[in-house]
Amino acid sequence: MSILLKPFITKYNTAPFQSIKNNFFKPAITSLIEDTKKEIDVIVNNKNTPTFKNTIEALEYTGQQLDRVTSIFFNLNSAETNDEIQKIAQDISPILTEFGNDVTLNEGLFKRVKHVFDNKEMFDLNTEQNTLLDKKYKSFSRNGANLNEDKKHKLRAIDKQLATLKLKFGENLLAETNTFELLITNIEDLTGLPEGAMEAAKQLAESKDKKGWLITLDYPSYIPIMTYADNRELRKKLALASGAKGFNNDALDNQNNVLKIAKLRFQRAQLLGYKTHAHFVLEERMAQTPEKVTSFLNELLEKAKPAAEREFANLQDFAKELDGIDQLEKWDSAYYSEKLKQKLFNLDDEQLKPYFQLEKVIDGAFMVANKLFGLQFKSINTIDKYHKDVMTYEVLDEKNELVSIFYADFFPRSGKRNGAWMTSYKSQYIKEGHQERPHVSIVCNFTKPTNSKPSLLTFNEVTTLFHEFGHALHGMLANTTYPSLSGTSVFWDFVELPSQVLENWCYEKEALELFAKHYETNEVIPMELVEKIKESASFHEGMQTLRQISFGLLDMSWHGIDPSNIEAVKTHESNVFKDTSLFPDVSKNCMSTAFAHIFQGGYSSGYYSYKWAEVLDADAFEYFKEKGIFNKQVASKFKDHVLSQGGTENPMTLYKRFRGQEPKPEALLKRAGLIK
């Protein structure tokens, strides 16, 4: 346990994964909470008049070891969990919530923070210090510091319940994903499936001592079936299983968790004086109000819906002509879309995959980062990993100085949740003149290499890798004084700009030539394929946009109203989806019970931010295209005004400093082919 109680004596102060045992976490976190309380007591009991330095800055640097240990623990709970870790998470989440409340409801501490806040003009603060002061003050006021004792007590109880419910929601979802296995014993049932997917399914079956082909709900297994399997009944079976996650009225059901989370969030917002949870959340976002979000989504809906309906009608006609399908169902969407895409563009993922070997795509992302920002990535094997599949790198600048440590974890396994994300094991900050560099990680779920083939990515997976790598660059290139303002610690509807803008390089000939090379012949991807990728980029963009809007509206429907009268999750959801639905509803399926982004992750009242950030990224990339996609001047402006600045200033101020103007939605609508 003692290994977790002090800064790590390792190369670059990296996490000593191999020396940490699961049973170290709970006692270490409990002990570090006590240490942090003592640090806070020193601030509270300081007899000197509160100043920025002795109160705000002192508070910023409390609990640093606690932050490191909890980040390691919760990152493991997402990427390499097991029953023991999940049990510890259930135990420590309420303890950490309670501690967070102890801090924000500490009257003596708030009194000092408020004194500095009320007298800020006396302290001659710079922009970053002003932002930190504002953030610290709001961390109290937005968490109940101005409430009376009775209301503070209620707030603590709500926060404790929410911490447990969110964990339970995520555990149920992971268990549902892991529980489902479909063994196929007749090869005819898998007609249409690409050879690589067949081989992966066979290897998975063998790994579990089964004969045949094993299909699961993990994306690398699920997506090829939905996209390529000719067997409609098989697609239906998988789609129904996936769509019913958390909605089976059994021990893993999430309906009650959804209702409780939504209602508790509303009660919490009301206690704090906000109309709804969305009003509370959006106060700290670029969008600012639920009304603005809803109007933004509806404006996009107006532009996207006619295109989506045209695309759907074409797809329906195509399926009827091809296979006599009278009614397109949800499990037909990816399959016939892929077939139509092949017909229109003579392009399919299987044609592209040989050019996207994982290792080469990683190198490609590194080369793009080198050309834009002068970064070098060197593989390092002298630091600990939490799993043998994890790749580790030193990231250096042009002067060979350390910029960051980078972890990359690409393959699915049973202890890892689905999807892709970027996270951090250590923040960047500057303390007493010393520059602490960050430790950044990206986690994905790509197809593993098989006995005969390396890991070959679909084009969608290529853009996913670049997306998460964009987040990683935001973390790596951070250059702020304070850890809580560093890297991706920005407004939630701004955080997707660096990730989404980087996806654009995947469509550019100049970038693709760096890494899109055939895994057997090393031949560069033919330019006609590049042209087809670009042409097909806006294929079914209306339908895709409608889908994203529907998720954003669902999020706002749970969080932008009083949900007290909602009794049935499915009924509520069906009402919300009526303006955005194209496919017939499936009564046994429910989106909310598996909507981890908003009920487990941090996207509640924030799902709209993907589309919001797309407006920013389309506008930003237009600037790169005007000057050249590897233009050093534009890249430097992006690094200096966006990537390095974290949350030190209002994001619109930072964006305008980079771009010279506010973003215009026209760039996105044009790119999506929704306007000429």
Catalytic residue among 60, 338, 350, 468: 468
Other beta carbons within 10 angstroms of residue 123's beta carbon come to 14
Q: How far apart are the first and last CA of the chain?
A: 62
- Compute the CA torsion angle 573, 575, 579, 584 (nearest 10 deg): 70
Dihedral class, residue 628 (left if φ above 0, else alpha if ψ from -120 to 50, else beta):
left
The pair of three-digit structure tokens given for residue 4, joined into one six-digit string: 């977790």
Q: What is the DSSP track for 12-67?
A: GG---GGG--GGGHHHHHHHHHHHHHHHHHHHHT--SPP-IIIIIIHHHTTTHHHH
Q: On the CB side of 647, how many CA atoms lie within 13 Å of its CA?
A: 23
> Can you list the pairs that 402-405 forms with residues at least 24 positions away whose Cβ atoms lie under 8 Å?
402/12, 402/437, 403/375, 403/437, 403/476, 403/477, 404/428, 404/437, 404/438, 404/439, 404/440, 404/475, 404/476, 405/12, 405/14, 405/380, 405/437, 405/438, 405/439, 405/440
Indicate the burial class of 412 (C-beta count within 10 angstroms; 0-12, 13-18, 19 or more): buried
| Residue 651 · residue 491 · CB < 8 Å | yes
* Amino acid identity, position 663: P
What span, in angstroms and rounded, lies between the C-alpha atoms of 213 and 207?
A: 11
What span, in angstroms and rounded, lies between the C-alpha atoms of 499 and 508?
A: 16
Q: What is the DSSP track for 88-147?
A: HHHHHHHHHHHHHHHHHT-HHHHHHHHHHHHTGGGS---HHHHHHHHHHHHHHHTTTTTS
- Would you call 468 a catalytic residue per the annotation? yes
Q: What is the DSSP track for 508-520?
A: -HHHHHHH-B-TT
User: What's the Cα-to-Cα distance from 298 to each of 195, 303, 545, 580, 583, rounded to whole Å?
Assistant: 42, 9, 12, 10, 20
What span, in angstroms and rounded, lies between the C-alpha atoms of 51 and 120?
A: 9
| Residue 438 · residue 428 · CB < 8 Å | yes
Q: What stretches of 482-540 show up as alpha helix (H) in DSSP?
A: 496-503, 509-515, 527-536
Q: What is the DSSP track for 555-587?
A: HHHHHSS-GGG---HHHHHHHHHTTT--SPP-T
| Cβ partners under 8 Å of residue 457, min gap 6 | 353, 356, 357, 358, 361, 446, 447, 465
What span, in angstroms and rounded, lies between the C-alpha atoms of 155 and 157?
A: 5
Task: Report the catalytic residues.
Answer: 468
